[in-house]
Structure 1
Amino acid sequence: MANIPNFLEEEDYDEQPPAAEMTETTAPKFGEPGFGKGKSNPRKGTPRARITEADSSFLRFAGMFPCADAEAFSMLRNSQATNLNPVPGGLLSIRGAEAILRKLHRLEAIDRFRHAGTGITSYGLSRNGFGYARGYGHALEHGATMNGISLERLSHYRLIAHVAALFASPAGFFEDSLGVGPVSLDQVITEHAMRGAFDPVKQGLDQRRKEGKTSDFGAWRKTKLSQAIEAMKAGKLAPADLIEAHPVLLTLGMPKIEGVKGKAIYQPDLAINLDQSRTGAKSNSLLVEIELTRKSFEAYDAILRTIKAETDQPYVYSRAVYFTIGNSVGNLLRKVDAAGDYGLFASGRLTVLPITHRDGTPVQLSRRIVVEGR
């Protein structure tokens, strides 16, 4: 295995000629020009850039949310004190985040990709970056890179990262609209983490189907949830630990019942775990969708039926939030909710919010095409 340069613990210095190759000069005597300046330091040089503890939070975020842009990273922390700015205030600037990202790219800790159509640069953790992040204690068990992500999906992944950063930001962007203050990245559960918990179950159900046995995930999940509820009632499982103990329950699924069109398997874009202080049966956690394009009426009907069934007995999720661009998705969701008499909007169990920049202005999907030579 190739050796990876250690930027975490040491500061290297620009190379200087060996001492034997330097010209030795006689020190000037008292009163002569140059007296008092002394000899130059043979180790003199500029310290090379290195990854700091503060930088490691960027590495963690990049590993959790490939395709994040500089604005998302800028919302993760407040500006830090410097000699020129001893009393910082507010979030790190986007230019400040870009400077850190340039350094991390120079150190081969992150990869980057500039979309020629939108002009936006996205970032993801490199192979070396995973090692550096783990050196600071970030396990990234379900981390991912940008490798293999299609251009068609890039904007979706970028805005998932954007919404995740809004939740994790110390600015508290959702204190008014959702009653949710800043959360730690430990509380933000990614699609990759949900898939990591779900895939072994899916493989087992696939094998059962091949054997001609029942392979209904919704029925399997209902049984699993019932077992967890019994464990909580018996005092064997703390309610606050339900999601951590059984992350597969974050993937929803309705049992197959003739005439009922729910989602057999439904995995949201994000889950926000708000159950750290939970002591009772009811969860506080959020199901989060980032919806950039509108689905069909029928598709939303199956989704809202599934969300209603879940939030009627809120052991895992109590609310769902859709983040959208424009009014098209929200308007259709309200029509579907009314047609199905689900009452999700009226009860506060479903909310639609615009995706906004850090300054509160709505995000717009740029579809600008760059033509060579223009």
Structure 2
Amino acid sequence: MIMTASSSGGAVLRPLTSLFEALVTPHAVDRYLELLDPMATVREVRARIVRVMRPTEGSVVLELRPSRRWRGAEAGQFVQVGVVIDGVRHTRCYSPTGARPASRDAVELIVRAHPGGLVSQYLVREARAGMVVDLSSAAGEFVLPEPRPREVVLVSGGSGITPVLAMVRTLVREEFPGRIAFLHYTRTLADVPVLGELSALGEARDNLAVRIVETSTEGRLCREHLRGVAPWLGADSEVFVCGPDALTDALRELLDADGFGEQMHTECFRLVPPVPAGPADGAVSFARSGVVAANTGATLLEQAEAAGLQPEYGCRMGICFSCTAVKRSGRTRNVRTGDTHDDPDQPIQLCISAPVGDVEIDV
């Protein structure tokens, strides 16, 4: 029998793939295919690094060539990138920085090494052409709206530059006719990997104003900075900000004072400070692994890892849903909001859920 790549052929292959995965349990078929070719996957998306640049100390720019299951991303969205370090697969979230619309055959990432950042430090240090990484589908609601606003203000701080960089590149590629302001905060100019590009864009386009602020000498966000780059800020403007809490809070205060607070869109990859927990009691049963451990009050992800298990995870802050598992019984508490959940057989996020008493989880 000859099988073609038609839609009907795909329909035939899908149940065969599921059957094969059942036969090779406990590992999915992609775990075996990657032994032959890391890019030969059935369900997962992989990407090969085809270009590596290190424009500043402590950062790396990666150009990736994804496998054919990749469906692209909107400017401002994020993806999960997975690497194997010392035999353990680790995943973190990064925002592609390329303009849209663009070919689905290329993804650009800018990774900055963070203190204690296992994956970021590994990529900055070890990334090389030919390396294959895991790549998720794009996600996130921090995107330019359709239709486009008449005026766009982009504000970022530190590594928060990546999603707004994708936005400004997209607006430039579209030849957006409205006014654009790009205000970025950095400790020093040497920390900005695209400093030359941003300066050139600001000089070449009459409708684009670019301001890079060195916080070490010029301080943090203030009304003078904002009005200096966007004196026209008003009812026709939409504001997009990604950066540290202090930057977001200061910008919201300024916009609220001027009556523009509802026009602000934010993105952050951080965990809200956890709601204080009560005394820990009971036990956590990791049903699929057959492990039972005393409840320490930590999140289920942390308790699973402490018990020697390796559940899948990504952002560790409740954004990407990679660590979702089914809670079979018991009560859990959302460490970000304090809300508790009692319903059995419900999917929960391990990284932001802590057990309250006895809990059984399908891990």
TM-score for both structures, normalised by structure 1:
0.27
The structure with more radius of gyration: 1
Larger relative strand fraction: 2
TM-score for both structures, normalised by structure 2:
0.28
